[in-house]
Amino acid sequence: MLEKLKESLERSDIVRFGEYQYFVHPITDGIPAMDPQVLDEVLDRIYDLLDLNVDYLVGAEAMAIPLIVPLSLMTGIPYNVVRKRRYGLPGEVSVRQTTGYSEKELYINGLKKGDRVIVLDDVVSTGGTLRAIVKALKTMGVDVRDIIVVVKKTDKLEELEKDIGQKVRTLVSVEVKDGKVHVI
């Protein structure tokens, strides 16, 4: 299962940001070019996991967008993008995101108390993006029904789950060792 994804991950290039080893892959970075068969395999697997009884699919700009847009088309569920830019719309919520290599503000718009959502993301490494978004959504009174992430690159997922108060489902797990991505 997910063989095309696994094979493509193992061919990923690695770059360093200080001590942080970052793998570059079409699912997580949009480069190099995405093999449509890999994307199709990923989308089919996520679709099989989805609870269709939600109001929105939610994902952070930028790399959740190639996941939530086609899944919205497949399911008929609207999507909502957590943006990197402030719009100043009524009800906009600012979220501080801290990852292994950067800190920035994210902005949630168009969601309200009682909305039922599934949060989708490309990768969980430090957990900074998911932690910030999920905590903000819950503070807003949004019902986070599920969290699905394509790639797990962390040994601290249980810590993240405890912190946000729910499970994070992942499709594949990887580690970067000796300058290579290994699917585990």
Entry pTM: 0.95
Q: Cα(122)–Cα(165) distance, rounded to whole angstroms?
A: 20
Q: Residue 100's pLDDT is what?
A: 64
Q: Residue 19's pLDDT is what?
A: 79
Query: Half-sphere exposure of 88 toward its Cβ, with a 13 Å CA cutoff?
Result: 0
Least Cα distance to 122 among 76, 71, 176 occurs for 71
Q: Residue 179's pLDDT is what?
A: 87
Question: Phi first, then psi: what are they for 24, rounded to 5°?
Answer: -110, 120
Q: Residue 27's pLDDT is what?
A: 98
Q: Where are the domains of the chain?
A: 3-81+111-179
CATH assignment, 3-81+111-179: 3.40.50.2020
Say if residues 152 and 158 touch (Cβ distance below 8 Å).
no
- Regions of the chain with pLDDT less than 50: none
The neighbour count for residue 75, using CB atoms within 10 Å, is 16
Say if residues 119 and 59 touch (Cβ distance below 8 Å).
yes
Least Cα distance to 157 among 180, 184, 177, 118 occurs for 184
Q: Residue 10's pLDDT is what?
A: 98
Q: Is 34 exposed, middle or buried (0-12, 13-18, 19+ CB in 10 A)?
A: middle
pLDDT tens, position by position, 150-169: 999 999 999 999 999 999 99
- Burial track 120-147 (b if 16+ CB lie within 10 A, e otherwise): bbbbbbbbbbbbbbbebbeeeebebebb
Q: Cα(28)–Cα(34) distance, rounded to whole angstroms?
A: 10
Say if residues 2 and 8 touch (Cβ distance below 8 Å).
no
